[in-house]
């Protein structure tokens, strides 16, 4: 899901109307009621959203069927990978959509809130630590010191041991 309920609140504070597709964020742990509580409208179908929206925010690139529903001249913010998706770029241009490719946002400190690549790399790092902890042959409590975390020391000590 491209927008979490907290983001919906911030958009509403800027006097924007926000609508989400029903059950779109269940896998991310957010219910339709969470979005309603944040002030969003919950629509029954993606078709209703695509045909009415001035701007669509979506993480995976849009499908041909979704693009067919988009209003000409509307905006799209999504992962588009424009350098390798020439057909998609042509379809977006034919529909005269204004687009922002979220994967092309500069990876700078100022843009870090919008940089999906950095956020996904952070998640991958957390996941790597969880996998390493699971692979350790013993319990390793998380203790922080100025020099290092105790967990990091244990991982380094056991690295290479079979």
Give the residue carrying structure tokens 């209003």: 71
Give residue 24's domain range.
Answer: 5-104
To the nearest 10°, the Cα dihedral for 64, 68, 71, 77?
-10
Q: In this structure, are 88 and 28 located in the same domain?
A: yes
Q: In this structure, are 82 and 124 located in the same domain?
A: no
Q: In this structure, are 79 and 131 located in the same domain?
A: no
Each residue's pLDDT, cut to its tens digit, for the chain (162 residues) gives 788 999 999 999 999 999 999 998 888 899 999 999 999 999 999 899 998 999 999 989 999 999 999 999 999 999 999 999 999 999 999 999 999 998 888 777 777 777 777 777 788 888 888 888 888 887 766 665 555 555 555 555 555 555
Distance separating alpha carbons of residues 66 and 50, to the nearest angstrom? 7
How many structural domains are present in the chain? 2
Q: In this structure, are 121 and 77 located in the same domain?
A: no
SS3 state of residue 104: helix
pLDDT of residue 158: 58
Q: In this structure, are 95 and 132 located in the same domain?
A: no
Q: In this structure, are 12 and 88 located in the same domain?
A: yes
Greatest CA span in the chain, whole angstroms?
Answer: 60
pLDDT of residue 65: 93
pLDDT of residue 151: 54
Answer whether residue 111 is part of any domain: no
- 78 Cβ neighbours under 8 A, 6+ residues apart: 2, 56, 57, 58, 59, 60, 61, 62, 99, 100, 101, 102
First to last CA, the chain: 40
Q: In this structure, are 44 and 76 located in the same domain?
A: yes
Q: In this structure, are 123 and 49 located in the same domain?
A: no
Answer whether residue 109 is part of any domain: no
**How far is residue 24 CA from its own chain's centroid?**
13
Answer whether residue 21 is part of any domain: yes
61: left (phi over 0), alpha (psi -120 to 50) or beta: beta
Q: In this structure, are 41 and 86 located in the same domain?
A: yes
pLDDT of residue 155: 53
Global pTM exceeds 0.85: no
Q: In this structure, are 140 and 74 located in the same domain?
A: no
pLDDT of residue 78: 93
Q: In this structure, are 138 and 72 located in the same domain?
A: no
């Amino acid at each position: 899901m491209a927008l979490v309920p907290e983001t919906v609140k911030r958009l509403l504070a800027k006097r924007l109307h926000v609508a989400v597709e029903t059950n779109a964020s269940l896998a991310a742990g957010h219910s339709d009621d969470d979005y309603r509580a944040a002030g969003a409208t919950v629509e029954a179908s993606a078709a209703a959203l695509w045909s009415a929206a001035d701007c669509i925010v979506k993480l995976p690139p849009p499908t041909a069927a979704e693009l067919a529903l988009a209003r000409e001249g509307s905006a799209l913010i999504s992962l588009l990978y424009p350098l390798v998706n020439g057909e998609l770029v042509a379809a977006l241009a034919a529909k005269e959509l204004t687009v922002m490719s979220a994967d092309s946002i500069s990876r700078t400190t100022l843009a870090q809130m919008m940089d999906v690549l950095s956020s996904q790399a952070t998640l991958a790092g957390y996941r790597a630590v969880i996998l390493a902890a699971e692979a350790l042959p013993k319990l390793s409590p998380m203790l922080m010191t100025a020099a290092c975390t105790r967990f990091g020391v244990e991982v380094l000590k056991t690295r290479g041991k079979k």
